[in-house]
Amino acid sequence: MSKGYFTFVLHSHLPYVIAHGKWPHGLDWLNEATAETYIPLLDALNKLVDEGIKPKIIIGLTPVLTEQLADKSFKEEFKVYLAQKIEAAQIDEKEFVKEKQEHMILLAADWIKFYKSIHDSFIHKYKEDIVGAFRHLQDTGAIEIITSAATHGYLPLIGDDTFVKAQVRTGVKNYKKHFGKSPKGIWLPECAYRPRYKWAYPLSGFGQPKERAGVEEILHDENIDFFIVDSHLLEGGKPVGVYMDRFKALKTLWESFEKNFDCQSLPAKPRTSNKIYMVSSANGKKPVAVLTRDLKTSLQVWSGEYGYPGDGNYLDFHKKRFPGGLRYWKITTPKSDLGSKMIYWPKDVPQRLEENAAHFAGLVKSTLMDFYNKNNSPGIVVAPFDCELFGHWWFEGPRWLYLVIKGLSQDKDIELATGTEAIERFAPTEIISIPEGSWGEGGFHWIWFNDWTKWTWQSLYEAEAMMKKALADSGAVEDKHGLLKQLAREFLLLQSSDWQFLISTWSARDYAELRFSDHLDRFKRLYSIIEEYLKNNTLSHEDTVFLNDCQKKDACFQEIDIKDFA
């Protein structure tokens, strides 16, 4: 019998960028992630399968990302992107030859080889079907794919349960479309959870406090068996963030939760992330299983101070050679500025990868053995990460994943298990309640709700009221032009949590503000067109042109069902 279980959870997500810019913000985000993360990850997983190892990792593919990866326009643009990268490396190589920089010549040749390999995998191995490649791995039992909210909406702050349900239900239906079955698990955007309690809007003018369903209740209604949370929601007590006293509205949110959530239901005995629990915040409601991030192992990767990706031998993410944008320098030290970065030496990497992978595997085993020895029963280590960390941010990351999974697969005491398999093994029965929070900085909602983003929530809550009115006014009127469906698409895109994240982190602030405003303008214009159409039953030429433009530019979720928003 195994003495413990292990699984990686890799959350893959990008906002909808097709037809919304290319470089530096837009489609090239998707091109970069595909070339540097998704295809290298697929190659690593398939290599393990070829060696007789089922990786048993959990892959989260958000519906909005899946829609883009399956889009024909992306597939054509991606091939152009790869050709441009190969050409850029070839230009660099010629310049290095002229300058007689022998080592740089070799590095440029490595980039040519890398992008040609990615091109070969994309065209020949995966037949230009990234989604299908992941589906095949799931269908053969190598991995488990989980869904997410349709556009990665920040569920705890959405003002009405109907629209939380719409995000989840649209995500479930989209999963069925692409993967041919119902999802068993879900990645809550930003691992953000809210239990049942009398919730109050964080902004004034939107009504009185009202009883809200716990997120897990909505998941249960959609037949979701499990979700993932950060460790502090399970082990750390009240997730009062470091920004609570700096922002009044955030403090108001917390006080509303603390006042109305039954904290007596939180058991006094300690909990551990190495067990699987059932979560319920409503009496008589069927609970949903929760997998919890193991903090010790996760910090070995996430930590900027001592995490593996910060090793000085690995390829630096920030320093690039222009105009091609290729990278030729190593991290050197975590505190090295761009001017002091040293040249990258690939030959120094394999040994460090082996050491880092062995260290991580050892940490997993010691954690599981400690749990087993104390409890005389197996435990689990769940290691969730943003998928794009591996390959895009940490270039060598997919190779590290391969080594870790291979090493753990050879340990007789550890069983690799997907989320569904782990729940079947554990058959959890202990029902608990967990508090509101996320895996964002501070543990609560600060990253997504603050002085910089408050205006977006004002607009979102106003849009919710407009969405309700448009549906109520339309009644049984046939949506023969697709006006309501497009209104719903713009509404979902408006709800994307990426806009608040990018605004708060200043990583692409102008782009995020522009995208949010663009979807808001489209939503309002469509709303006005619908109101006018209901009066006279005709569409003007100008309105028809606008609708067609929206349908072409924001063409995701063709299966969208307006009844899910009512």
Q: What is the CB neighbour count within 10 angstroms for residue 418?
A: 26
Helix (H, G, I), strand (E, B) or coil at 137: helix
Look-up of token digits 């713009």? 490
The answer to whether residues 60 and 387 touch, using CB atoms and an 8 Å cutoff, is yes
In the set 235, 386, 531, 532, the catalytic residue is: 386
Q: Which amino acid is at 338?
A: L
In the set 36, 190, 436, 464, the catalytic residue is: 190
Please report, for residues 83, 155, 309, the alpha-carbon distance to residue 329 in angstroms, rounded to integers and kept in the order given. 23, 40, 14
Between CA 145 and CA 155, with CA 150 as vertex, the angle to 5 degrees is 105
- CA torsion 554-71-10-509 (nearest 10°) is -40
190 is catalytic: yes
470's CB contacts (< 8 A; 6+ apart) are 484, 487, 527, 530, 531
CB-side neighbour CA atoms (13 Å) of 421: 21
Please report, for residues 11, 41, 190, 226, 240, the alpha-carbon distance to residue 279 in angstroms, rounded to integers and kept in the order given. 21, 32, 18, 9, 20
Helix (H, G, I), strand (E, B) or coil at 397: helix
Between CA 190 and CA 389, with CA 178 as vertex, the angle to 5 degrees is 35
Q: Would you state the structure tokens that stand for residue 364, as one six-digit string?
A: 């997993």
Helix (H, G, I), strand (E, B) or coil at 377: coil
The answer to whether the bond into 428 is cis (omega within 30° of 0) is: no
What's the burial of 126, exposed, middle or buried (CB within 10 Å: 0-12/13-18/19+)?
buried
274's CB contacts (< 8 A; 6+ apart) are 4, 294, 367, 368, 371, 379, 380, 381
Between CA 362 and CA 253, with CA 232 as vertex, the angle to 5 degrees is 160
Please report, for residues 67, 378, 437, the alpha-carbon distance to residue 190 in angstroms, rounded to integers and kept in the order given. 20, 28, 9
Measured over the CA atoms of residue 279, residue 439, residue 460 and residue 177, the dihedral's sign is negative
Question: Which residues form the catalytic set?
Answer: 190, 386
